[in-house]
Structure 1
Amino acid sequence: MRYQISGKQIDVGEALQLHVRTKIDEIMEKYAARPTSAVVLFSRIAHEFTCEITVHLSSGLIAQSRGRDSEVYIAFGQSVDRMEKQLRRSRRRLKDHYATRPLPVELLAGSSYILAPIEDDDEHESEDNHPTIVADMPTQIPSLSVGEAVMQMELADAHVLMFQNEKHGGLNVVYRREDGNIGWIDPRNSGL
């Protein structure tokens, strides 16, 4: 597995890098088949360290976690514990996913936009009443089944995930509801 271990406002020494590789290797051996790469980013803001871990699985699914603490090793420990918990909960589904999907997840190219907040003054809106685009970034939209999309959303610790439904090719959304359940939006099944 390839590792990219880096830091913002922090020097990531050899001891920390070795610790990161050892712990992630242990978890991946135990829970996830065929990981391809891991990106670990340490950052420091004032007296708080943040550790963000992103593991790319060969199937195209991505697992993400984050930890924060005043000590860098504890922040990493929190992040790796969250990743282990996510993978443990999804272990059976991950194994089923590999059995039913021999090829990686197909990805569609898309764009992600960041919009300026809407304010009462007219400075941030154009004449045609559209909000101002602050940033435009390329993104990828995975082609998944609904079950795989829910698993990907949980592995990424996200609140919402847009995906192309493999059954009919339409764009769908799964999201975490306030009551703790998962919502699914499929415009094709709206009956309108």
Structure 2
Amino acid sequence: MELSVQGKQINVGDALRAHVQEKLEDLNAKFFNRAIDATVIFSREGHAFFNAHVSIRIGKNINVVAEAEDTDIYAAFDQAAVKLAKQLRRYKNRLRDHHRRAEDMPDDTILQARSYTIAPEQDDEDTKESSGEQAPIIVAEMTTDILTLSVSTAVMHMDLMHQNALLFRNESHGGLNMVYRRPDGHVGWVDPVGNGLSAHKEAAE
């Protein structure tokens, strides 16, 4: 497993790198022993807290993300590692099955799309009057993969990546779907009319 340990305006010493490597290798050995690479980024949250953001690629198109913060940088990472273990334990059996299916999945089941990061809009009083709609200001552009998944697997991917929503192609009909985390904690599922599977109730984990 390739490992990258980075610090944002923080010096990451050899002792911390060794601690991170030992923890993640133990985690990898416990769950599948198939992790491809991992990235750990440490940053400072204000003056009191350290933040540890951990991302591990454990297979084809499967990323597991966790983060935590603490006044001690080692404790911040350890808490993030505990969250990773909890996620992997929760989906252990389904991940094994997904690994087997992913190996046989043809490349044409993945749809490539452009992903944009848009700058926040300014308040009307801070902008000059103008006629017509203003185009959004794009601050970043990248390529992203839209995977072909079942609804339950899409929910798993969303949880593992610690995201609030996930766009995917429904493997039942090939149409675009979205799952998202609702404010009440349930999972919402959007299946547009015309996909062949409309009028579904919201899926819950």
- Taking structure 2 as the reference length, the TM-score comes to 0.83
CA distance in 2: counterparts of 1:9 and 1:139, whole angstroms: 28
- The 3 A distance-change label for structure 1 pair 6 and 136 is closer
Q: Which residue of 1 aligns with 2:190?
A: 185
Map of 1:129 onto structure 2: 133
Q: Which residue number corresponds to residue 203 of structure 2?
A: none
Deviation at 1:96, TM superposition (A): 1.2
User: Residue type matched to 1:35 in 2?
Assistant: A
Q: What is the count of residue pairs matched by the alignment?
A: 191
**Counterpart residue number, 1:149:** 154
RMSD of aligned alpha carbons: 2.3
- Identity between Structure 1 and Structure 2 (%): 37
What letter corresponds to residue 132 of structure 1 in structure 2?
P
Give the Cα–Cα distance (whole angstroms) in 1 for the partners of residues 22 and 128 of structure 2: 49
Are 1:33 and 1:95, in contact at CA under 8 Å, matched by a contact in 2?
no
Q: Take 2:104 and 2:16, find their aligned partners in 1: how far apart are those partners?
A: 34
Query: Corresponding residue for 1:28?
Result: 28
Runs (5+) with no aligned partner, structure 1: none
- Counterpart Cα distance in 1 of 2:87 and 2:129: 41
1:175 corresponds to which of 158, 169, 180: 180
Q: 1:125 to 1:149 in 2, by over 3 A?
A: farther
Unaligned runs of 5+ in 2: 200-205
Greater Cα offset, 48-57 or 105-114: 105-114
Is the Cα contact below 8 Å between 1:124 and 1:131 reproduced in 2?
no
Provide the secondary structure at the position in 2 that maps to 1:41: strand
Deviation at 1:18, TM superposition (A): 0.9
Amino acid at match of 1:162: L
The offset of 1:126, in angstroms, is 6.1
Q: Is residue 51–residue 67 contact of structure 1 (8 Å, CA) maintained in 2?
A: yes
Provide closer, same or farther for how the CA distance between residues 27 and 126 of structure 1 changes in structure 2, counting only shifts above 3 A: farther
Tell me by how many angstroms 1:136 deviates: 3.0
What is the CA distance between 1:118 and its match in structure 2? 5.4
For the Cα contact (< 8 Å) 1:109–1:141, is it kept in 2? Answer: yes
Structure-to-structure mapping, 1:31-110, within 5 angstroms: 31-45=31-45, 46-103=47-104, 106=110, 108-110=112-114
SS in 1 for 2:184: coil
For residues 99 and 128 of structure 1, do their structure 2 counterparts lie closer, same or farther at Cα, with a shift above 3 Å needed?
same
TM-score between the two structures when normalised by the length of structure 1? 0.88
Closer/same/farther in 2, CA of residues 10 and 103 from structure 1, 3 Å limit = farther
